[in-house]
Amino acid sequence: MADQLVRATAAAGGIRAVGVITTQLVAEARRRHGLSYVATAALGRAMSAGLLLASPMKHLSARVNIRFQGNGPLGTVLVDAGRDGTVRGYVDQPGVELPPNAQGKLDVGRAVGAQGYLYVLRDNGYGYPYASTVELVSGEVADDITYYLTTSEQTPSALALGVYLEGGQVRAAGGLLLQVLPKAATDEALIDLLAARVSSLAGFTPLLLAGQQLGDILETLLGDLDLTIFPETQLVRFHCGCNFDRVLGALKMLGVDELRSMIRQDDGAEVTCHFCSSVFRAQRHHLEALVAELEQEVTSG
């Protein structure tokens, strides 16, 4: 099934629900970055969460950045997700592999680290981004994001995220976010109900593997609560906006001395995009043009 996102409401608008399937885009991230199993699970969960967090934002150019800075061996886990359904991301140490945890699952908590911080930056698309930081709860990603949503955004939330790998392939990935909206946010019973229902799911990926659609899963969870599933399905995909012009812009910021030394030592420059692992090769003549531009700016400035 194509990667996609489905939105719904329930309980007379008191509950917002979003589900996302990210199997293909997580597989693409794994291939691009050469991610280990546990790195695939960590980044895949975080990318799914990014798309879920971005989905209710109004402006189509709105974006959410999620950065895990834990004390685990993966180092930084960074995701940039958009309301437009695009997402990209990376981990500092993509090759780190760990033995399974006590439950026999990929040990994302240990790989990310249970100590450290989760940074979330929301850019609503109007030019006033706001940043927020919480301490990590477990490094398992879903716990940490839930804690962030509940404390920092004051939106009681229940979140399930999953990435299932088998035989070196990503077989299923995605997530589900249920939120109690402000009009119902004091309804403790409703909040408890959602948390209980999400934790009653035997994981999210087993449902996908069993052939369930997002609509089926939402129906199971909220069917008795006046569920309305929005008819339009949004396609989601891995996408990075990097290009050669931006690479040249970044190189230019290094300044004349650094550019000259690159020309002298390497006859050019090779730049790898963190977010998508695309490699750009700037030739000597590109760098010489940047030097000339900088010198021109100095003379005319």
Cβ(42)–Cβ(112) below 8 Å: yes
Tally of CA atoms within 13 A in the half-sphere of 150 that contains its CB? 19
Q: If we measure between CA atoms, which residue out of 154, 173, 140, 170 comes closest to residue 68?
A: 140
Closer residue to Zn ion (CB): 207 or 273: 273
List the x/- string, 132-171, binding to Zn ion by CB under 5 A.
----------------------------------------
**Which range, of 24-32, 120-128, 170-178, 265-273, touches Zn ion by CB under 5 A?**
265-273
Tell me whether residue 155 or residue 278 sits nearer to Zn ion (CB atom): 278
Longest dimension (CA), the chain: 72
Q: Select the span of 5-13, 96-104, 255-263, 272-280 touching Zn ion (CB under 5 A).
A: 272-280
Residues in contact with Zn ion, shown as a per-residue x/- string from 23 to 62 under the rule CB under 5 A: ----------------------------------------
Stretch that binds Zn ion, among 126-134, 158-166, 226-234, 266-274 (CB under 5 A): 266-274
Q: How far is CA 272 from the centre of its chain?
A: 20
Written as six digits, the tokens of 3 are 């990667």
The smaller minimum CB distance to Zn ion, of residues 32 and 110, is found at: 32
Question: What's the closest the beta carbon of residue 199 comes to Zn ion, in angstroms?
Answer: 36
**Which of 171, 261, 234 shows the shortest CA–CA distance to 207?**
171
CA distance 53 to 57: 8
Amino acid identity for residue 13 in this structure: G
Secondary structure of residue 280 in the 3-state scheme: strand
| Rounded (10°) CA dihedral 221, 226, 228, 229 | 10
Site for Zn ion in 226-255 (CB under 5 A): 240, 242
Q: Residue 242 or residue 289: which is nearer to Zn ion going by CB? A: 242
Smaller CB distance to Zn ion: residue 43 or 273?
A: 273
Question: Taking CB under 5 A as the rule, does residue 276 contact Zn ion?
Answer: yes
Q: Which stretch binds Zn ion (CB under 5 A): 115-123, 169-177, 202-210, 276-284?
A: 276-284
The site that binds Zn ion (CB under 5 A) totals a number of residues, namely 6
Beta strand extents in the chain (DSSP E only): 4-10, 15-21, 63-70, 77-82, 86-91, 116-123, 130-135, 157-166, 169-180, 228-229, 234-235, 237-238, 268-272, 279-283
| Least Å from the CB of residue 51 to Zn ion | 18
Residues engaged in binding Zn ion (CB under 5 A): 240, 242, 273, 275-276, 278
